Structure 1
Amino acid sequence: MSSHTDWSILAVDADSGETLIESTPDLVLPTASVGKLFLLHHLAELLDADPTLGQRMLRRDSVEPVADSGLWQHLDAAELSVNDCARLVGAVSDNLATNVLLDLVGLAPVQEVAKRLAPGGSMLYDAVRDVRTPEDPPMLSTGCAADWAAYFRTPHPTVLSWLAPATDLSMVSSALGLDPLAHTDPGADLRVWSKTGTDDGVRAEVGLLQTGGRRAAYAVICRFDGEVLPVLARMRDHGTQLIDALRAD
């Protein structure tokens, strides 16, 4: 049986806006955990207004347990600060920390942020669920490359600080050759701040890449029904294209 893929891709020079890579950038596709960025951005704006909120302690048993991505479910700590929950979401896409933060701030305000930031229709629909029933939204989030490339031209600096240690470098960022567990040196020539999304038939990476004194805001989103390895190979190729474009004379 032949496989099928849909792509939404856009990469631009973050300063000039020059298009570096483009393919159906307005196509809205499932983006899995990428939509958690709307939660992080909303939280960053709340912290701008009240920095003390970051020290508020949150209990993980305030929400139902949820599995898959994340570390908090494996830790002894029963409570963490708002700041640390956000760091877990940025670094390892922590599902439990995501739901605890959503329980704190509410989904509706996060969706209002999405409407403001993403004119192309990117949206976070729900908290993370182990099982989705017919009564639940059918997926966690959707998005298009145009929205996310635009966001990462002028991202919130606090959101970037949470994304800096992101450990999933399996997609576009696999071309960079970075240590997934140690790539936050502010003096390094090559840096990336990214958020990925993974689900059955979905791979997505959005972010900001910096090298050679230049920056690219990028988003590569794929929905597919075949093997994942060709999808990851193409995403890696786009990472190589971005490095080459930024380092070109």
Structure 2
Amino acid sequence: MGSSLPPFPEPVDGAPSATVRRSQRSGRRLPRRAAIGRRSFVATLKALEELADAGAQVSVHVVDLDTHHHVLSGDDHVTLPIAGLGIVPLLIEVAAGFEDGSLDPLEIVERSAIDQVATAGIWRHLRAPALPLTDLAVLAATAGDPIAVNALLQRVGHDRVRARIEDLGLARTAILDRFRDDRGPDDAPHVAVGTSRELAGLFSALVNSAVVDAAVSAQVSEWLSLNQDLSLVAAPTGLDPFAHDHDQHGLLFINKTGRDRGVRAEAGVLAGPRSGVAYAMIVCFDDLSIAHRLRAHDVFRLLGVELMEYTH
């Protein structure tokens, strides 16, 4: 089912780097190893440290696309819930099916035949009772539409997605279940889980045409370039959420976010005139108030600011 991702490059000696550790386990403050200056991640590290001290689980990985320097990492090996971010391997399997002919992009799927989700999504508001698979892939990538995702997952099947994930070498990433309005005791606890290291590596491989083949990588990257959720890491870029695939200032940006109660996750690629990075961040927190939620969101936006400084 295609080749595995190339081994993720090890950090290069002398790279500007920053590392965080989970403080709620050790009781110690998170060490800061970022170089002081324009290309450091001091603000992000401080915010992650404060979240971890407050009991949140945080995971982050940023790698330079050109040098393969791991410029920021922290608990990037820990498997955490990632909500809708976990559908990226599903999109890869769908694109691979289109490419090898095992799936027809124009195959029509009836909405009434799909497990419904009434609390989110766009398709439930549309008059169209049926859509082709290729349009469902666009809905899934651009809006995280849960019914579209459920339709793709039902058509492709968990076994094929699981095999694709294994083939890509993602040992700690999995799609556990479909989207549901209510998750009961007999259901999987989360839609998907993963690590920031694997997810950053996956996005790096996508833009380097190393996921399955060049055609599949290009198709999935194109879908993700249309994503309209630019409210987290992408907020400081100033990109238009509805038209950012051809930015006039030369920014290359693709991403996918994941949101659930107490979960915020995002992975993507940001490239500017000086350099490019692949990144992933996961924050799991007690969603006790809007203030708790906004505090988690602020960390993603701080990362976005410092990624912009790094790439410009």
TM-score, normalised to structure 2, is 0.75
Please give the per-residue CA displacement for 1:194-222, whole angstroms capped at 9, x wherever unaligned.
11001111000101112116321110111
Query: In the aligned structure 2, how far is the partner of 1:115 from the partner of 1:169?
Result: 29
- 2:265 alignment partner, one of 204, 216, 221: 204
Confirm or deny: 8 A CA contact 2:59 2:283 kept in the other structure. yes
2:219 is the alignment partner of 1:158: yes
Structure of greater relative contact order (alpha carbons < 8 Å, 6+ residues apart): 1
Count of equivalent residues: 246
Q: What percent identity do the matched residue pairs reach?
A: 31
Q: CA RMSD in A?
A: 1.7
| Corresponding position of 2:299 | 234
User: How far has the Cα of 1:168 moved from its partner?
Assistant: 0.8
Query: In the aligned structure 2, how far is the partner of 1:197 from the partner of 1:66?
Result: 16
2:172 is the alignment partner of 1:109: no
Query: In the aligned structure 2, how far is the partner of 1:106 from the partner of 1:92?
Result: 21
2:113 is the alignment partner of 1:62: yes
| Corresponding position of 2:178 | 127
Query: In the aligned structure 2, how far is the partner of 1:193 from the partner of 1:165?
Result: 8
| 1:76 aligned counterpart, secondary structure | coil
2:188 is the alignment partner of 1:137: yes
| Corresponding position of 2:280 | 219
- 2:134 alignment partner, one of 83, 87, 105: 83
Query: In the aligned structure 1, how far is the partner of 2:298 from the partner of 2:275?
Result: 24
Query: In the aligned structure 2, how far is the partner of 1:243 from the partner of 1:113?
Result: 33
2:67 is the alignment partner of 1:16: yes
| Corresponding position of 1:96 | 147
Amino acid at match of 2:94: L
Confirm or deny: 8 A CA contact 1:172 1:235 kept in the other structure. yes
**Larger radius of gyration between Structure 1 and Structure 2:** 2
User: How far has the Cα of 1:30 moved from its partner?
Assistant: 0.8
Could you tell which deviates more after superposition, 165-174 or 187-196?
A: 187-196
| 1:137 aligned counterpart, secondary structure | coil
| Corresponding position of 2:10 | none
Unmatched 5+ residue regions in structure 1? Answer: none
Query: In the aligned structure 2, how far is the partner of 1:213 from the partner of 1:100?
Result: 41
TM-score, normalised to structure 1, is 0.93
Query: In the aligned structure 2, how far is the partner of 1:152 from the partner of 1:163?
Result: 10
Query: In the aligned structure 1, how far is the partner of 2:56 from the partner of 2:116?
Result: 33
| 2:257 aligned counterpart, secondary structure | strand
User: How far has the Cα of 1:136 moved from its partner?
Assistant: 1.0
| 2:234 aligned counterpart, secondary structure | helix
User: How far has the Cα of 1:233 moved from its partner?
Assistant: 0.9
Confirm or deny: 8 A CA contact 2:109 2:151 kept in the other structure. yes
C-alpha change, 1:73 and 1:18, in structure 2 (3 Å) is same
Higher strand share: 1
Amino acid at match of 2:218: P
Confirm or deny: 8 A CA contact 1:120 1:144 kept in the other structure. no
Confirm or deny: 8 A CA contact 2:235 2:304 kept in the other structure. yes
User: How far has the Cα of 1:118 moved from its partner?
Assistant: 4.7
User: How far has the Cα of 1:188 moved from its partner?
Assistant: 4.0
2:134 is the alignment partner of 1:73: no
| 2:150 aligned counterpart, secondary structure | helix
